[in-house]
Structure 1
Amino acid sequence: MFAAYIEQFGAPDQIRHGELPAPRPGPADVIVDVEVSAVNHVDTFVRSGAWRTDVRLPFVIGRDLVGTVTSTGSSVVGFSPGDRVWCNSLGYAGRQGAAAEQALVAADRLYHLPEGVAAADAVAVAHPAATAHLALFTHGRLRVGETVVVLGAGGNVGSALVLMAARAGARVVAVAGAGSAERVRALGAAEFVDYRDPDTVERIRRAAPRGVDMYLDTSARNDLTTAVDLLARRGRIVLLAGLDTTPTLPAGRLYVKDCSVVGFAISQASADELADAAAHINLLLADGSLRPSAVHEMPLSEAAAAHRLLDEGKARGKIVLRTGA
């Protein structure tokens, strides 16, 4: 099979496109003919070696795919050849990646694709939407009626956060560029704040006069001083981005307000947590409410160029690699 892979860690030019042996399933595994895979920032961290995880060289990159089941292991139930499926947890922790013509997926990390959902749309939202679910529900303990502030609400993760929080009965204050205002309001945001406004913090404060119950910054700036100041009693800050940030934590104000800061990386999520997120994502895919704002398709053979675009901040829309399968 053809795959995008590395033989050593490093820059995007370490990515090769060539033939590797096709995977062979164990009893609990499924072989998927891959139609599309996604390119995420975390994929660039694994490729470069910045995110340390079990990698067996040559290593197929990428973690998200949509494709069709071609065969299953002897103990697999619930999947049959011809089923359209998706996965968002390959390419780390000893698992080979998704950017190939075929991929081996453990059955407990594979999910059925709702009928009528385009493969590119599904693979583009898989990683950001799972991140949003884990942030809001697994780690943020969101409750009905709470006020949630989302910084970077116009992005892939931010949009999913707005949609999911609003659907769960939260009041969402979305912070993003003016060009995203219409979209995030359509996703359910009760208030919109332009991040370029010099009075951004005061506008958030006016939008949440009783304080913020959950504060999420997808832009990776992680200004904890401002965040703690905005929190209500027992408010929570959920850190989900910013690998290299070292913000100052105003510990005194944090503890007297009975607040908390929790961080998580989706790579640490259990199979059960990811399956719970996938069930939620499938509901939103099926009703048409969860869609990417923009998708940039490239052939699998251009995986190195795709990683370069992401590294250089030049990607326009979610990059999706198409195998042609």
Structure 2
Amino acid sequence: MHTDLVAALDIGGTKIAGALVDSSGRIVLRGQRPTPAQESGESVMRAVEAVLAELTSSVLWPAVRAIGIGSAGPVDASAGTVSPVNIPGWRGFPLVDGVRQLTGALPVELVGDGVAIAAAEHWQGAAKGHDNALCMVVSTGVGGGLVLGGALHSGPTGNAGHIGHISVDLDGDPCPCGARGCVERIASGPNITRRALAEGWRPAGDAEPTAAAVAAAAEAGDPVAAASFVRAARALAAGIAATATLVEIDIAVIGGGVAKSGEVLFGPLRTALQEYATLSFVRGLSVAPARMGTDAGLVGAAAAALGGAPREASVIG
């Protein structure tokens, strides 16, 4: 019987997932609902309520000691509010208060989804054993989180490590965030595709123009597709090297849909890092693909509820 559990919520623009997680990071119960992202804030909260109802109705619920939430952002952990870019109905939405009303007096920890993924990768994944790490998601957007000195570093609002909005091209395209030349504006999946299309690439046959299609073309030797990935890799390398220089990380872990491109991305990324990470204390910086997959957000939210990425954990039977 489980005697010590945490509840985890992973909130994104596509799905709202929930789980009960034990102290070893093992998911013992899960629930999920689609995110009604284009509906009202109240409709989105009802989806959260439905997921929580699956968890709280379980016979395991009395063993839950805390709740962790990893949400698309920005988030404001100090206020307990979320304003996900891809959920327009939530602007300054009091998510933590709403969850508390449904679950009682349990402590609730809110972090950005990139921070949650960093916690998961440090606890169970590619950053395990590294005290100073940057963990990133490169997909529709580019986000990230930091582990510093062996502890999750979420910052005062829960957004620390948001590398996607570091500017790496001072004269670059305007970014929807309001800045210019951000990593996300160059290296996200839609922007890799946008660049390839602008340079004359077209998908084969009737295929949709996606980053995966660009990656397949690059792997097959298409020079325009390959150039779009090289450009994205250089933007990522510049952002990673800047982060490493600032806080002395020794590994960058990259997940998300674009990372599934494999060496089409990681090959030029490692090459570009040699150009950008040049100071003696960052030359040993390594890059690795993420290992946690689709459960990273849930496991990371659980880790946040446990106070970070636990160094050691025991299975509670």
TM-score, normalised via structure 2 length: 0.28
Greater RCO (CA < 8 Å, at least 6 residues apart):
2
**Richer in helix (by share):** 2
**Richer in strand (by share):** 1
